């Protein structure tokens, strides 16, 4: 019996041999797949999407990686929602030209590398922003406008992550509000989310187009407030019948 047939049988039986079939993406391939939605595909140092990496942690079947996951990905509804989003990215040839599977990128060692890559890129972006801010602003030595593109790119990434988190949590409140005995405060907040769906993102996109970095900072704060409010109502106990 040849080795390929043996491997297939082992996989069907759930043996560890099937893990040998997994492919391991490079850092560059991980970065292309997991970059934030508004990033330039040509940017080799684009920020990685926080929700996508949380999703991979949630699906990794690794207890250490699954520790301290936020509400938006710790629950079954959140896992399903983020998996559907990631499946769309995996099917996108622009993000995943080498056709890695979900099993490939959710393997524990690959997820750990994604977490480290996200941390490294965040650290590099913050260091670059601090260095840019520390350069003297004397117009004879450096035009002040030179700092704007970098600051705008950084704030755009921060705003995208914050808005995305708020949107995901809003979706979770709407799902939880449909459950029997849902807390009235949760139901009320879910209705607020439904009425305002998409509004925050449209506002953010307008700020990016106009190059308003300071307004994007305010958008991050606003999105974080909404995320915290959603977490609060999601944690409320159901009403006993």
d(CA 29, CA 204) in angstroms, rounded, equals: 28
What pLDDT was estimated at residue 200?
Answer: 85
Residue partners of 179: CB distance under 8 A and separation at least 6? 238
User: Using the 8-state DSSP alphabet, how is residue 39 labeled?
Assistant: S
The tens digit of pLDDT for each residue in 119-176 reads 898 888 777 666 665 655 554 455 444 444 558 888 888 888 888 888 888 888 888 8
Listed in sequence order, the DSSP H helices in the chain are: 3-12, 27-34, 50-59, 63-66, 71-74, 76-90, 102-105, 108-134, 148-177, 184-195, 199-210, 213-234
Using pLDDT thresholds of 50, 70 and 90, give the confidence band for residue 107.
very high
- Both tokens of 33, joined, read 């797949």
Coil/strand/helix, residue 36: coil
d(CA 241, CA 233) in angstroms, rounded, equals: 19
Question: Taking the model in full, what pTM does it have?
Answer: 0.53
């Amino acid at each position: 019996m040849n080795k390929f047939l043996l491997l297939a049988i082992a996989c069907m039986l759930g043996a560890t041999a099937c893990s040998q079939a997994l492919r391991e993406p490079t850092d560059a391939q991980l970065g292309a797949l997991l970059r934030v939605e508004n990033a330039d595909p040509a940017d080799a140092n684009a920020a990685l999407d926080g929700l996508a990496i949380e999703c991979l942690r949630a699906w990794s079947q690794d207890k250490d990686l699954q520790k301290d996951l936020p509400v938006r990905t710790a629950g079954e509804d959140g896992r399903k929602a983020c998996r559907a989003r990631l499946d769309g990215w995996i099917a996108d040839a622009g993000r995943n030209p080498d056709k890695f599977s979900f099993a490939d990128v959710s393997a524990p060692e690959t997820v750990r590398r994604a977490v480290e890559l996200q941390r490294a890129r965040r650290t590099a972006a913050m260091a670059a922003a601090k260095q840019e801010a520390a350069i003297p602003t004397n117009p004879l030595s450096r035009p002040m406008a030179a700092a704007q593109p970098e600051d705008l790119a950084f704030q755009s990434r921060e705003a995208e992550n914050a808005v995305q988190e708020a949107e995901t949590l809003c979706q979770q409140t709407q799902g939880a509000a449909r459950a029997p005995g849902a807390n009235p405060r949760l139901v009320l907040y879910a209705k607020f989310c439904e009425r305002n769906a998409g509004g925050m993102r449209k506002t953010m996109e307008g700020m990016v187009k106009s190059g308003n970095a300071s307004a994007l900072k305010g958008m991050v704060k606003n999105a974080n407030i909404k995320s915290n409010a959603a977490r609060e109502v999601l944690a409320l106990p159901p009403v006993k019948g």
